Amino acid sequence: MSKTKVIVCSNSGIDYIDHGYDIEVFRSIVQYSESEKYDDYTEISAETFYNRLITDKASFPHTAYVAPGRMIEIFEQAKKDGYDSALVIVIAKPLSGLHNGVELVAKEVEDFEVKVYNSKSLAYPEAYMAIEAAKMFNEGKSMDEVIARLDFIRDNHHVYFAVDTLEYLIKNGRLGKVAGAFANLLAIRPILDLDEEGKVRTLEKVRTPKGARKKLVEMYIEAIKDKNIIPFIVHAAADKEVIEELRAQVLEARPELGQILDYPLTPVVGAHTGPKTVCLGYILK
């Protein structure tokens, strides 16, 4: 009987979720200089990372995906552990070269099949896919059955987010420099989401962070109307009061949801959004 190892990239933030499954993580790298690099989560925590972003403006982080050599080490270890294949769930292709990188590296591992899955997302939805995949493989489901489930999640979830500053999106190339400079001049804060392919797009432009959060909630409540969903909040060291405000506003409109869990935005994603970013998202049940 075949045995499939589930691997997910650290952009998923799965490290912050208690799940109990045997899931490996391809850890991206937070890099401040050639001599100062950290593996996401294991060498730099969200708390440490965001504190540094806020207090040390001169120290600007960049990111890189896991080194090819480390990928091979993980594949080879999975073989030793009795796995004959791996399902690697990765961040949306428009946001990283990881998908193509894994496909290239996988060719170097003998007698081990690797399926690379483009989540077209990041953060909690990507982590949820990995947890669902591990659960299904444990239940004896086939690769085709697992992929069908992941396709449903991929096609039936959405993430909306509001950033507190455009600085990081501009410097990391996620927002055009001209458009970004103009938006900063006018103190505009966009409401963003990921489109069907996982590209960042602007939905609305609001003048203040507080106004952006208000609009974020309005758009989210409209989007989830009449839907049976798993709601979630993801944030980049946002103030506790802000998170509770978002949660309360959504539950006021949809009290039957019961609870809305929140998760940190892991450093390698926060390097692009900046601190205080807040995300509201859902996955259709």
Q: With a cut of 60, say whether residue 185 has pLDDT above it.
A: no
Q: With a cut of 70, say whether residue 161 has pLDDT above it.
A: yes
| Domain shared by 133 and 17, yes or no | yes
- Position 205 scores a pLDDT of 87
| Domain shared by 14 and 144, yes or no | yes
Q: What is the CATH number of the domain that holds 70?
A: 3.40.50.10440
- Position 282 scores a pLDDT of 98
The answer as to whether 204 is a domain residue is yes
The conformation of residue 63, written as its DSSP 8-state character, comes to: E
**Tens digits of residue pLDDT in 27-39:** 999 999 999 999 9
**Model confidence band, residue 2 (pLDDT cutoffs 50, 70, 90):** confident
- Position 208 scores a pLDDT of 85
Structure tokens at 54: 């806020």
| Domain shared by 142 and 179, yes or no | no
| Domain shared by 11 and 127, yes or no | yes
The answer as to whether 38 is a domain residue is no
The answer as to whether 57 is a domain residue is no
| Domain shared by 143 and 167, yes or no | no
**Cβ–Cβ under 8 Å, residues 154 and 123:** no
| Domain shared by 148 and 8, yes or no | yes
Backbone angles phi, psi at 58, to 5 degrees: -75, -15
Rounded Cα–Cα distance for residues 276 and 67 (Å): 29
Work out how many domains the chain is built from and give that number: 2
Where is pLDDT greater, at 278 or 183?
278
| Domain shared by 167 and 276, yes or no | yes
**Model confidence band, residue 5 (pLDDT cutoffs 50, 70, 90):** very high
**Model confidence band, residue 175 (pLDDT cutoffs 50, 70, 90):** low
The answer as to whether 172 is a domain residue is yes
For a pLDDT cut of 90, what percent of the chain falls above it? 85
Rounded Cα–Cα distance for residues 232 and 178 (Å): 33
Q: What is the CATH number of the domain that holds 237?
A: 3.30.1180.10
**Model confidence band, residue 190 (pLDDT cutoffs 50, 70, 90):** confident
Q: With a cut of 80, say whether residue 187 has pLDDT above it.
A: no
Q: What is the mean pLDDT of residues 64-79?
A: 98
Q: With a cut of 70, say whether residue 111 has pLDDT above it.
A: yes
Q: With a cut of 70, say whether residue 184 has pLDDT above it.
A: no
Q: With a cut of 70, say whether residue 122 has pLDDT above it.
A: yes
Q: What is the mean pLDDT of residues 81-88?
A: 98
**Cβ–Cβ under 8 Å, residues 215 and 203:** no
User: Last residue of a domain, which of 136, 155, 174?
Assistant: 155
User: Last residue of a domain, which of 139, 155, 171?
Assistant: 155
E-assigned strand segments in the chain: 4-9, 23-26, 29-33, 36-39, 62-64, 85-90, 113-118, 157-162, 189-194, 200-206, 229-235, 261-264, 278-284
Where is pLDDT greater, at 170 or 186?
170
The answer as to whether 128 is a domain residue is yes
User: Last residue of a domain, which of 119, 137, 155?
Assistant: 155
User: Which residues does 126 contact at the CB level (< 8 Å), separation at least 6?
Assistant: 8, 9, 11, 12, 13, 14, 89, 90, 91, 119
Q: With a cut of 60, say whether residue 274 has pLDDT above it.
A: yes
The answer as to whether 216 is a domain residue is yes
- Position 172 scores a pLDDT of 73
Question: What average pLDDT does the chain have?
Answer: 93
Chain centre to alpha carbon of residue 20: 20
The range of the structural domain enclosing residue 206 comes to: 157-284
**Tens digits of residue pLDDT in 238-272:** 999 999 999 999 999 999 999 999 999 999 999 99
Q: Please tell me the pTM assigned to this model.
A: 0.95
